[in-house]
Amino acid sequence: MPAPQINDIVENFTLQNQDDKTVHLTDFKGSPVVLFFYPRADTPGCTIESCGFRDAFEKFQKAGIVVLGISRDTVKAQKKFKDKYDLPYDLLADPDMELINRYDLVKPKNMYGKLVKGVKRTTYLIGPDQRLIHIFEEVKPEGHAEEVLALLKKHK
């Protein structure tokens, strides 16, 4: 199944959040959803990006926008990350990389001069009708939440 493209209806998914509760994309029908994939909980870039969404969360909430973080970490690791940084949104665990693979996000990355496969930091903006509005592919953790917010305001 190909990764979703702009204007596609995003296929429903089911993952566990940090509290081991089942979350479906369809739970948020009628609201815009920010789906941000990050390589690993509690690593420097992922922490900057996640805390950026935390710091801007009130603005997302006021605009009725749902924020969901996803990585291949376990439910337990997501819970620890959420609690440590007081993240006010759900972190979804994809340890089997079901969604990560469906979105084709495992890419070769250069890590200290070695080529390794890792999850590419990517953010998907999904409209209230569950259509894909935008894909941020080369995400820089700093200022990313504000960048997402600015784009969503344009789509209102």
Which pLDDT score is estimated for 118? 85
Angstrom CA distances, 13 to 63, 108, 119, stand at 24, 25, 18
Q: Are residues 145 and 69 in contact, defined by beta-carbon separation less than 8 angstroms?
A: no
Which pLDDT score is estimated for 117? 83
Q: CA–CA separation, 132 vs 103, rounded Å? A: 12
Report helix, strand and coil shares of the chain as percent, to nearest 5.
30, 30, 40
Which pLDDT score is estimated for 110? 75
Query: Domains plus CATH for the chain?
Result: 29-155 (3.40.30.10)
- Provide DSSP, 69-129: EEES--HHHHHHHHHHHT--SEEEE-TT-HHHHHTT-EEEEEETTEEEEEE--EEEEE-TT
Q: What is the pLDDT along the chain (156 residues), one digit of tens a residue?
A: 677 888 999 999 999 999 999 999 999 999 999 999 999 999 999 999 999 999 999 999 999 999 999 999 999 999 999 999 999 999 999 999 999 999 999 988 777 788 888 899 999 999 999 999 999 998 999 999 999 999 887 776
Q: Are residues 47 and 76 in contact, defined by beta-carbon separation less than 8 angstroms?
A: no
Which pLDDT score is estimated for 156? 62
DSSP count for the chain of H helices, then E strands: 5, 9
| Active site residues per annotation | 46
